[in-house]
Structure 1
Amino acid sequence: MTDVTRTLAPSRPRLAGRLKLALCIFAFMAVVPPVAHALGEPFLIVVATRMMIFAIAALSLDLILGYGAMVSFGHAAYLGFGAYAVAILSRAGVNDLFLQLLAGIAASAVFATVTGAISLRTRGVYFIMITLAFGQMAFFFFVSFSALGGDDGVALTARSTILGMPWLQGAEGMFHTTLALLVLAFAGLYRLTLSRFGRVLTGTRESALRMQAIGFRPFPYQLTAYVIAGCLCSVAGVLLANQAIYVSPAYMSWHRSGEMIVMLVLGGVGSLTGAMGGALLTIALEEGLARFSEHWRLGFGLILVAVALFSPGGLAGLLRRLNLTRDPK
């Protein structure tokens, strides 16, 4: 390990802060089903499942945006690839969740490798615009895909099976499967960001020129992170299709990519726990504010402005200032 990568490695107290906060989030989500039943509000399980699905998507985006400083406005395309993998394989009679996950990940890996290799030749606003262009290309491809409903999307006949068993048919089965995948996604990214690969990626965020000067080529690390993020986002897409029992090109529009960036802003860019918290908070605010007014976006916008003005680091920054965690990331 070089002196630079050693400097970028977080200290043990900071790591403990990350893990404690993540465990609190997982524990909070785990008690949702019994609390929902106790309150006579089973719909809360459906909302919590949706929250965790977008938490996985937010984690994937945080890897490239928070740790690699790659602002992608086409990231939702991978959400669509995962969702359409479910729709296409279901029509072919393949309903196994793991096979659908593999198909979504494979499609996303190919698309991310090709488009990432091109996009990473650019920087700044040009990178943003080219990822937006590739994302919209994928969006309009599925809009014109009349065999799968085109712009109207397509309804699924049933949710996927796991090893031939209909474990996802019930709301609680869907909830626990999503929670398990969220824990795995966080654990995998947690280890990845602490590894040598993660420290080099963080170094390229700080200064790509300096990393080149000490012998690291940023491009392979950035492209690998870009592909990993796309593959992980497709997992969220597979879950989203199963949760809604419906697939639409709207899943991969640039608006959805913008929503995922908002989740990171609310939670804290460059923080895995912040990414999860931001996604949970965003969906919770959408559901909560929508019950009071059809103009809930106005209230949500005001909250976002307040966060930008008074807590630029999002929830993670707020917790640091309250000394509830020592994690500066």
Structure 2
Amino acid sequence: MNLRPRLIAALAIFVGMALVPPVAAALGDPFLTVIASRMLVFAIAALSLDLILGYGAMVSFGHAAYVGVGAYAVAIGARFGVTDLLAQMALGALMSAAFALVTGAISLRTRGVYFIMITLAFAQMAFFFFVSQSSLGGDDGVALTARSTLLSTDVLESDIAFFYTILAVLVLCYGGLYRLTNARFGRVLTGTRENPLRMQAIGYRPFPYQLTAYVIAACIASVAGVLLANQTEYVSPAYMAWSRSGELIVMLVLGGIGTLTGAMAGALITVGLEHTFAAWSEHWRLGFGLLLVLVVLFSPDGITGLLKRLGVGPRHD
């Protein structure tokens, strides 16, 4: 199997994003780096959802709950003197893994629309739990006094340093998921997506693989949440609202479900278009919706599928 096209596509995304800060400096517009940081954060979140939706056919409408849990790990950690970014990521991953292990074990007993609704229900439970926490600002959320430290330094206070930190995390997440999805685990997960009965017939139990993928995706989403809280310097229950989960699904549809490069591209394009359209009109969602309709009608497998048909995109991830 020729692995070069997909790796080249991912490398092109990483290199292109790495050039944003110097380009922003040359244009005298540092806000471009801030927008690019947000794009990278959601690329991480989209990657995590693609693992369970694209490879495992688990359509979760509550995935943003884990982004929110990661964000609150920053606020909770800061209250107890835990300000290091890596420690907060570990805390967020631990909290998300515990939540995903319990809710995933229950949710995976269902299929189809029932799975969608039960993941939504659990996400709403998490949403209202944090809304009820007045010590954390309740529905209004809580502002962070500063960004997290990194190895006992305040280097992340620099938007450029923070941008490259997020980019490094994205590269690590992509590399890990790339290896995972191309290993036996990923092939079993993909086989379960295609025909679970056949996978059982050849000796594989889908449930442990699906639950493991569900927990891994939750942990990665929580990492995105930690970075999002630092990027905005604010934590709110809105991060885990059902509409945010819908936005993550839109990113996958736009980029291409079941391809890691498509997940990243979809997130980058979606966030970029949001800022572009919003600068033109307050009714930007109408234009974005029309664009999404066109993509679904004429390229159901997203932008990566369109590029593949044109012979310039990666065939698989």
Query: In 2, distance between residues paired with 1:94 and 1:234?
Result: 16
* 1:124 to 2:106 alignment: no
Query: Secondary structure, in 3 states, of the residue corresponding to 2:251?
Result: helix
1:101 to 89, 113, 137: 89
Instruction: Show the 5 A alignment for 1:186-265.
Output: 186-265=174-253
Query: In 1, distance between residues paired with 2:97 and 2:278?
Result: 36
Deviations 1:147-170 (A, max 9, x none): 000000000000000110001101
2:33 to 40, 45, 55: 45
Query: In 1, distance between residues paired with 2:309 and 2:138?
Result: 48
Amino acid at match of 1:311: S
Query: Secondary structure, in 3 states, of the residue corresponding to 1:168?
Result: helix
Query: Secondary structure, in 3 states, of the residue corresponding to 2:209?
Result: helix
Instruction: Show the 5 A alignment for 1:136-147.
Output: 136-147=124-135
1:88 to 52, 76, 80: 76
* 1:302 to 2:290 alignment: yes
Moved over 6 A (4+): none
Deviations 1:26-71 (A, max 9, x none): 0000000000000111000000000000000000000000000000
* 1:150 to 2:138 alignment: yes
TM-score by length of 2: 0.99
Q: How many pairs align?
A: 317
Amino acid at match of 2:29: E
| Number of the residue aligned with 2:42 | 54
* 1:323 to 2:311 alignment: yes
Query: Secondary structure, in 3 states, of the residue corresponding to 1:200?
Result: helix
Q: How far off its partner does 1:325 sit?
A: 2.5
Pick closer, same or farther for the CA change 1:328–1:163 going to 2, 3 Å.
closer
Amino acid at match of 2:189: L
Amino acid at match of 1:133: A
2:271 to 272, 283, 303: 283
Deviations 1:85-138 (A, max 9, x none): 000111222111111011000000000000000000000000000000000000
Instruction: Show the 5 A alignment for 1:59-78.
Output: 59-78=47-66
- Kindly, what percent of the aligned residue pairs are identical? 71
Amino acid at match of 2:136: L
Amino acid at match of 2:290: L
Query: In 1, distance between residues paired with 2:211 and 2:271?
Result: 30
Could you tell me which runs of 5 or more consecutive residues in structure 1 were left unpaired when the two chains were aligned: 1-10
Query: Secondary structure, in 3 states, of the residue corresponding to 2:128?
Result: helix
CA RMSD of aligned residues (A): 0.7
TM-score by length of 1: 0.96
Query: In 1, distance between residues paired with 2:143 and 2:60?
Result: 29
Query: In 1, distance between residues paired with 2:297 and 2:35?
Result: 29
Query: Secondary structure, in 3 states, of the residue corresponding to 2:164?
Result: helix
Pick closer, same or farther for the CA change 1:48–1:37 going to 2, 3 Å.
same
Query: In 2, distance between residues paired with 1:201 and 1:328?
Result: 15
Q: How far off its partner does 1:328 sit?
A: 4.2
Amino acid at match of 1:305: V
Amino acid at match of 1:95: T
Query: In 1, distance between residues paired with 2:170 and 2:155?
Result: 17
Query: In 2, distance between residues paired with 1:134 and 1:320?
Result: 37
Query: In 2, distance between residues paired with 1:27 and 1:227?
Result: 30
| Number of the residue aligned with 1:18 | 6
| Number of the residue aligned with 1:6 | none
| Number of the residue aligned with 1:5 | none
